[in-house]
Amino acid sequence: MTIPRQIGPHDRTRNVATGKRLRKAVGFPQGVGWCVPVPGQLLHSPAWLAMSDQCRKLIDALMAEHADHGGVENGNLMAPYDMLQARGMRRGNILDAVLEAQALGIVEPMRGARSYGSRRAPSRYRLTWLGTPDGLTATHEWKSIKTADEAKIRVSNALDRLERERAIRAANRAEHAAKRVQRSGAA
């Protein structure tokens, strides 16, 4: 469909659809609010196509958070576990989804501290295809992934690293528990 455009004073189009009805038909619906631009190049990239459902839910939650704040909070987006759980994610899969999005170069997380007591520092996120209000331009880390195989390898490496960290923590907990039992038995 060809859309007729307004002609400016120098016989050039102004890139505005002519006619109120046409502008209303091709424009955003009423009451949409802020929209999050997603480049077509990203939508067709191997990184985007390799995302799991859980990772996609995380990205959708971050885009909704970005839109809710008028597009000025990128780099400071928060997605608490309760909010992500309400969007259909299992608590046990959230960290996996964050690491997957980071490995694909779509999100840059800044890990916070555990939120208990006075130490409340939630994790914050940045969508890499958008700039931040403090002047950081879009970094487009997802462009470095050229094939679907490379995307799968990056994701599997990130998840393997997480599993190793979890195994080390579990071994440390078991070691400390054994020491406690040994000390209580000796007393």
Q: Tell me if 81 is assigned to some domain.
A: yes
125: three-class secondary structure by DSSP: strand
88 domain residue, yes or no: yes
Inform me whether the pLDDT recorded for 49 exceeds 90: yes
Q: Is residue 1 part of a domain?
A: no
* CA dihedral sign of residues 146, 58, 56, 65: negative
Q: Residue 18: pLDDT band by 50, 70, 90 thresholds? A: low
CATH number at residue 72: 1.10.10
| 12 found inside a domain | no
pLDDT tens-digit series, residues 91-144: 999 999 999 999 999 999 998 776 566 667 788 999 999 988 888 899 999 999
Measured CA to CA, the distance from residue 85 to residue 64 in angstroms comes to: 15
Residue 4 included in any domain: no
If DSSP codes are grouped into helix, strand and coil, which group holds residue 185? helix
pTM, rounded to two decimals = 0.77
Distance, CA of 38 to CA of 25 (rounded, Å): 21
Range of the domain at 93: 40-166
CA-CA-CA-CA dihedral for 114, 115, 116, 118, to nearest 10: 110
Q: How many domains does the chain have?
A: 1
